[in-house]
Structure 1
Amino acid sequence: MLEVRGLRAGYGGTEVLRGIDLAVGAGEIVAVLGANGVGKTTLNKVLSGLVPAAAGEIRFEDRPIARASAAAIVEAGLIHVPEGRKIFPNLSVRENLVLGSYRRGRARRGANLERVFALFPRLKERARQAAGTLSGGEQQMLAIGRGLMAEPRLLILDEPSLGLSPLLVEEMFALVKDLNREGLPIMLVEQNVVQSLDLASRAYILENGTVALSGAASALAADPALRRAYLGL
């Protein structure tokens, strides 16, 4: 689905990504893990066409997209649910969801809206409510629902558990698992190492803009270097 080779990018004269290689296959959940400041959000922005790649190759379903516009990338079905939700607080829940189908999925907007409401009954209850009045967990549901309205071929979730209570974190990871069971490939970008590795089939650990470790999630969870660095064991 997604292949990244030798990706370099940054801001001004500061290089943030220093030669990233990664891939996401059909039907996979692939975790991209690391602490704050290692380049996770920059990676997502480059993949989404919001930050230009300085070097390297990005292919989505075997088509080069490293120089494609953000609109073209969305139209291709690579959908990014950003860190911090980025909802439109003064618009209603329904209006936020409808905007998710602006570039892609417009023909089946009604059916997709009902699917999102079936996944998130709380959003249906609050359909006419201003999105900014929702709780943090509800806003995260809304952000994911808005992404699903675009009928993603691959969904990038950037820190979906950030700021949520432990109970809501469990619900969020259960949702990710359910979406994947329906056949949706997911790139899960997280700081929550333990639960992400439990959910994913493969994982990449980023450090200082490079891939420090990669492989099967189960093998990485048992890796002594990772356990020392991230789990304190």
Structure 2
Amino acid sequence: MLEIAGLRAGYGPIEILHGVDLAVAAGEVVALLGSNGAGKSTLNNTVSGLLRPVAGSIAFDGAAIAGWPSMRIVARGLVQVPEGRRVFPNLTVRDNLALGSYRRGGAARARNLERVAAIFPRLKERWRQLAGTLSGGEQQMLAIGRGLMGEPRLLILDEPSLGLSPLLVEEMFALIGRLNADGLAILLVEQNVVQSLAVAHRAYVLENGRIALSGKAADLAQDPGLRKSYLGH
């Protein structure tokens, strides 16, 4: 579904990604792991059309999308839930969700609102509350719900567990598993190595703009280099 080859990208003269290869098949959860500054968000933003690549190719569902505007990429079904939630604080929960269907999914907006309400009952309870008054965990639910409103064929989740309590982190990864069980392909971009590998089918480790490790998630969980670098043993 998504195939990235030789991707080089950055900001002005500063190159952040140095020839990244990565793929996500239909129905997969693929984890992209790495520490702060490894280049994860740069990769997300390049794939999503917010940055133009310097070199390399990005194919989504058979179409070469490198350099496409972000709105065209979203309309095709590749939707990113950005790091930091990025909700509209002065709009209600319901209006934030409705905006998720601006480019895609508008015809089924009412049905998708019901679906998101079923997935996140807490959001339904706060339907007319301003998004800026929600807790951090609720804002993360809202951000994911807004992404689902666009009927994604591939959902990119950028650091969905960041800043959440341990209990909410457990809920977040359980949710990712349920969404995938319904057939949604997910690129999970995370620093939480243990739980990401538990929910993913395959994984890549990004270090200094390059893929350092890749393979089946279960195999990487046992990799001594990864365990030493990220798990401390």
- 1:12 CA displacement: 1.0
**Matched position secondary structure for 2:31:** strand
Instruction: State the partner residue of 1:166.
Output: 166
Which amino acid in structure 2 is aligned with residue 119 of structure 1? Answer: I
Which amino acid in structure 2 is aligned with residue 13 of structure 1? Answer: P
Partners of 1:184 and 1:54 lie apart in 2 by 30
- 1:112 CA displacement: 0.2
1:116 aligns with 2:108: no
Instruction: State the partner residue of 2:10.
Output: 10
Instruction: State the partner residue of 1:211.
Output: 211
Instruction: State the partner residue of 1:66.
Output: 66
**Matched position secondary structure for 1:87:** coil
- 1:204 CA displacement: 0.2
**Matched position secondary structure for 2:67:** coil
Structure 1 stretches of at least 4 aligned residues deviating more than 6 Å after TM superposition = none
**Matched position secondary structure for 1:180:** helix
Partners of 2:21 and 2:226 lie apart in 1 by 19
Instruction: State the partner residue of 2:147.
Output: 147
Partners of 2:120 and 2:221 lie apart in 1 by 31
**Matched position secondary structure for 2:84:** coil
- 1:21 CA displacement: 0.1
Instruction: State the partner residue of 1:24.
Output: 24
**Matched position secondary structure for 2:203:** strand
Partners of 1:108 and 1:137 lie apart in 2 by 26
Partners of 1:87 and 1:222 lie apart in 2 by 37
Partners of 1:162 and 1:8 lie apart in 2 by 26
Which amino acid in structure 1 is aligned with residue 66 of structure 2? Answer: A
Partners of 1:228 and 1:125 lie apart in 2 by 44
**Matched position secondary structure for 1:30:** strand
Residues 70-111 of structure 1 deviation map (CA, whole Å, 9 limit, x = unaligned): 000000000000000000000000000000000000000000
Work out the number of aligned pairs and report it. 233
**Matched position secondary structure for 2:104:** coil
Sequence identity of aligned pairs in percent?
Answer: 70
Partners of 1:173 and 1:106 lie apart in 2 by 28
Residues 159-205 of structure 1 deviation map (CA, whole Å, 9 limit, x = unaligned): 00000000000000000000000000000000000000011000000
Q: How does 1:75-224 map to 2 (within 5 A)?
A: 75-224=75-224
- 1:67 CA displacement: 1.5
Partners of 2:121 and 2:48 lie apart in 1 by 29
State TM-score, norm by structure 2: 1.00
**Matched position secondary structure for 1:75:** helix
Partners of 1:12 and 1:25 lie apart in 2 by 31
* RMSD over aligned Cα atoms: 0.3
Please, which runs of 5 or more residues in structure 2 have no aligned partner? none
